[in-house]
């Protein structure tokens, strides 16, 4: 099969045994690769009810067929496992360059099984794979781990690894890659994949390779990829996101009254102009940084030149500005930037980290957490130094950080006193920085996303908040964002299916704003050597989406879990353009289930499963 290296590693960490395998052609056509193929492995091999941090969980790294090729922004890889944060299907995805280097080292993916008796790291190098002792790396953060491995193996190796947070099994620890300088790195951030890696005593994967990725129609593929690259290079997306980074979104969401502030008590942040893209450009931006084969360069290298927050590193992104900034009522850009850099170092998901700190601040404000719980720390709103202190404590599981390391849902369950009503999570995953009271359809997307409260499963914030054209579906009109319009739920379904393909092929979802489903179907056809139509593009995405849903249903997920925090359903927005609004979810959910071909309880019908070629799962739910 073209586009693949033809080898997936299977590593039994309990005894160090390494084998190679590869799926049959039909499986590849059904699930493509990346998180699609990894989800198939997870579904087949991980039994219902197992402990995500125990030996029975599998940790799967998977590239896609387009990863490392010349199509625009195709450096991505996925990490899939049962999530320790949510207890359901877990997936995280990252760009940078490691995905390319791992694939060119001769492998499409790797499945880790069981637990190593001692810390190890995997080396993949020009078609060979071996486990090495990682004792000297244990206790080191991401950039130090990267530096030490490069010292051992040479500068040409690229590293994906965990920091101290992953070792400590912080429930939302990230897997980081490309941490070549202190504070640098790209994150496979969500769902605690770094904690699963830590639970397996696996510190890193170091990869180097020059093995060619075979393409079915090389000339046509190169030509088409080059043309699409140029289209992206001349797009509106590039003009905005390259210039201001994802921080461009701060002003947009804030002006619409949907920038979550003070643990989502309001959607209007008075300090937005101190942390927005313009301020970053004028104060701390050093350079813009692209991922592999990307014309956009949305990454930022920033530097705080002096003072208590003096530091240089990669970030901050929009989500970090929301989570570590407005959600905690912090408007000190330099402090937020340092907190983000520290998350890169410890290997922490900034979205869950910031949300959890904001939740703790509200608990403290309401007397649910006291100075006795915090060892004397005052968790006051807007305290910039506190954010930094708490990131350290979470990463080390030190003091109150040990409780925060469990995430908002577990904290609320422990603290009680109705705190679950303002724990801003869905299915245990902390929400991104878009308040659904200001754009109702996003509430449906957060409620139904397979990995929990997530914004890039459907990416519906594009049309709902940003008015960005998303070209990968024919119709992306969501009408008045402040109204619940059941017909528009079809857009959520279409987006979920289409964006699932990006995670399966190894592409960046930003490209969905510029290139169409036809563009991607054509590139896939030229690469893989068989006709892959737009219909296949949508159907494959729908199949993968439904399989992850079935995984979750097998774990006990029902309609009751497809919901939002009570704050969004019951507490009217107090001010701004969305003043007085809550989300009325039920009519949206009913319509969405119908478009999906699911029953009233959110379960795919046997007919739908048969249509998708998933009839083999019918008796498993």
Q: Which residues of the chain form contacts with ligand SF4 (CB under 6 A)?
A: 73, 95, 290-291, 294, 296-299, 508, 510
Query: Minimum distance between the CB of residue 100 and ligand SF4, rounded to whole angstroms?
Result: 11
DSSP 310-327: -EEEE---HHHIIIIIGG
Helices within 162-285 (DSSP H only):
164-167, 193-199, 218-233, 236-237, 243-244, 249-255, 272-275, 277-283
Query: Minimum distance between the CB of residue 295 and ligand SF4, rounded to whole angstroms?
Result: 8
Q: Within 13 Å of residue 162, how many CA atoms lie on the same side as its CB? A: 32
Query: Minimum distance between the CB of residue 461 and ligand SF4, rounded to whole angstroms?
Result: 15
Name residue, tokens 């520290």: 342
CB atoms within 10 A of CB 15: 10
Phi-psi region of 475 (alpha: psi -120 to 50; beta: other; left: phi over 0): beta
Query: Minimum distance between the CB of residue 318 and ligand SF4, rounded to whole angstroms?
Result: 12
Find, among 318, 350, 59, 49, the residue nearest to 194 by Cα.
59
Decide whether 294 or 524 has the Cβ nearer to ligand SF4.
Answer: 294
Name residue, tokens 């590039």: 238
Decide whether 296 or 394 has the Cβ nearer to ligand SF4.
Answer: 296
Q: Which residues contact 93 (CB under 8 A, 6 or more apart)?
A: 34, 35, 76, 77, 78, 79, 188, 503
Q: Are 203 and 122 in contact (CB under 8 A)?
A: no
Phi, psi of 60 (to 5 degrees): -120, 120
Q: Are 165 and 404 in contact (CB under 8 A)?
A: no
C-alpha to C-alpha distances, 468 to 364, 428, 481, nearest whole angstrom:
39, 29, 14
Is 195 strand, coil or helix?
Answer: helix
How many whole angstroms from its chain centre is CA 290?
Answer: 18
Decide whether 73 or 516 has the Cβ nearer to ligand SF4.
Answer: 73
Interatomic CA distance for residues 463 and 455, integer angstroms: 12
Query: Minimum distance between the CB of residue 515 and ligand SF4, rounded to whole angstroms?
Result: 12
Find, among 218, 175, 223, the residue nearest to 196 by Cα.
175
Query: Minimum distance between the CB of residue 511 and ligand SF4, rounded to whole angstroms?
Result: 7
Decide whether 511 or 550 has the Cβ nearer to ligand SF4.
Answer: 511
Decide whether 73 or 332 has the Cβ nearer to ligand SF4.
Answer: 73
Query: Minimum distance between the CB of residue 247 and ligand SF4, rounded to whole angstroms?
Result: 13
Decide whether 120 or 508 has the Cβ nearer to ligand SF4.
Answer: 508
Name residue, tokens 């530097």: 303
Decide whether 114 or 350 has the Cβ nearer to ligand SF4.
Answer: 350
Decide whether 186 or 440 has the Cβ nearer to ligand SF4.
Answer: 186
Decide whether 299 or 443 has the Cβ nearer to ligand SF4.
Answer: 299
Interatomic CA distance for residues 273 and 494, integer angstroms: 34
Decide whether 73 or 91 has the Cβ nearer to ligand SF4.
Answer: 73
Decide whether 280 or 508 has the Cβ nearer to ligand SF4.
Answer: 508
| Cis before 299? omega within 30 | no
Query: Minimum distance between the CB of residue 506 and ligand SF4, rounded to whole angstroms?
Result: 10
Q: Within 13 Å of residue 219, how many CA atoms lie on the same side as its CB? A: 0
Please measure the distance between the N-terminal and C-terminal CA atoms of the chain and give it in whole angstroms.
33
């Amino acid at each position: 099969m073209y586009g693949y290296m033809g080898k997936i590693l299977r590593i039994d960490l309990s005894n160090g045994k390494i084998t190679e395998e590869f799926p049959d052609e039909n499986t590849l056509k059904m699930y493509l690769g990346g998180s699609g193929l990894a989800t198939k492995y997870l579904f087949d091999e991980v039994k219902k009810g197992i402990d995500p941090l125990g030996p029975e969980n599998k940790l799967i790294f998977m590239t896609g067929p387009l990863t490392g090729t010349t199509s625009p922004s195709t450096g991505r890889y996925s990490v899939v496992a049962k999530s320790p944060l949510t207890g359901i299907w877990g997936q995280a995805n990252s760009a940078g360059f490691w995905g390319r280097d791992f694939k060119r080292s001769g492998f499409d993916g790797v499945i880790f099984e069981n637990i190593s008796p001692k810390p190890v790291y995997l080396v993949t190098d020009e078609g060979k794979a071996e486990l090495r002792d990682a004792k000297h790396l244990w206790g080191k953060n991401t950039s130090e781990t990267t530096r030490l491995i490069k010292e051992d193996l040479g500068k040409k190796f690229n590293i994906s690894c965990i920091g101290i947070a992953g070792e400590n099994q912080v429930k939302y620890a990230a897997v980081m890659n490309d941490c070549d300088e202190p504070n640098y790195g790209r994150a496979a951030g969500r769902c605690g994949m770094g904690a699963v890696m830590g639970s397996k005593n696996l510190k890193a994967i170091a990869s180097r390779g020059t093995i060619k990725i075979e393409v079915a129609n090389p000339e046509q593929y190169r030509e088409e990829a080059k043309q699409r690259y140029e289209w992206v290079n001349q797009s509106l997306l590039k003009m905005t996101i390259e210039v201001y980074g994802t921080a461009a979104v701060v002003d947009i969401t804030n002006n619409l009254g949907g920038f979550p502030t003070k643990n989502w008590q309001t959607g209007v942040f008075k300090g937005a102009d101190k942390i927005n893209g313009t301020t970053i450009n004028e104060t701390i931006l050093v350079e813009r940084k692209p991922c592999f084969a990307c014309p956009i360069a949305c990454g930022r290298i920033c530097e705080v030149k002096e003072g208590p927050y003096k530091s240089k590193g990669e970030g901050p992104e929009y989500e970090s500005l929301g989570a570590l900034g407005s959600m905690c009522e912090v408007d000190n850009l330099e402090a937020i930037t340092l907190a983000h850099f520290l998350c890169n170092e410890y290997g922490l998901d900034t979205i869950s980290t910031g949300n959890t700190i904001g939740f703790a601040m509200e608990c403290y404000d309401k007397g649910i957490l006291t100075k006795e719980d915090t060892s004397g720390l005052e968790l006051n709103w807007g305290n910039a130094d506190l954010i930094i202190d708490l990131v350290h404590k979470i990463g080390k599981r030190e003091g109150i950080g040990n409780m925060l390391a469990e995430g908002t849902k577990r904290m609320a369950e422990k603290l009680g006193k109705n705190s679950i009503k303002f724990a801003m999570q869905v299915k245990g995953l902390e929400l991104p920085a878009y308040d659904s009271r200001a754009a109702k359809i996003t509430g449906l997307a957060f409620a139904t996303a397979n990995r929990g409260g997530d914004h890039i499963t459907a990416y519906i914030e594009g049309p709902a908040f940003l008015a960005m054209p998303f070209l990968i579906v024919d119709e992306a009109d969501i009408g008045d964002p402040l109204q619940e319009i059941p017909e528009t739920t079809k857009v959520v379904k279409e987006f979920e299916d289409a964006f699932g393909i990006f995670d399966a092929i190894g592409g960046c979802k930003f490209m969905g704003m510029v290139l169409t489903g036809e563009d991607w179907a054509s590139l896939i056809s030229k690469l893989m050597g068989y006709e892959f139509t737009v219909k296949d593009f949508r159907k494959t995405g729908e199949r993968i989406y439904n399989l992850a849903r079935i995984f979750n249903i097998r774990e006990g997920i029902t309609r009751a879990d497809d919901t939002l925090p009570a704050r969004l359903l019951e507490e009217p927005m107090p001010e701004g353009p969305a003043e007085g609004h809550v989300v009325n979810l039920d009519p949206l959910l009913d319509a969405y289930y119908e478009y999906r071909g699911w029953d009233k309880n959110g379960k795919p019908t046997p007919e739908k499963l048969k249509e998708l070629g998933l009839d083999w799962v019918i008796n498993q739910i």
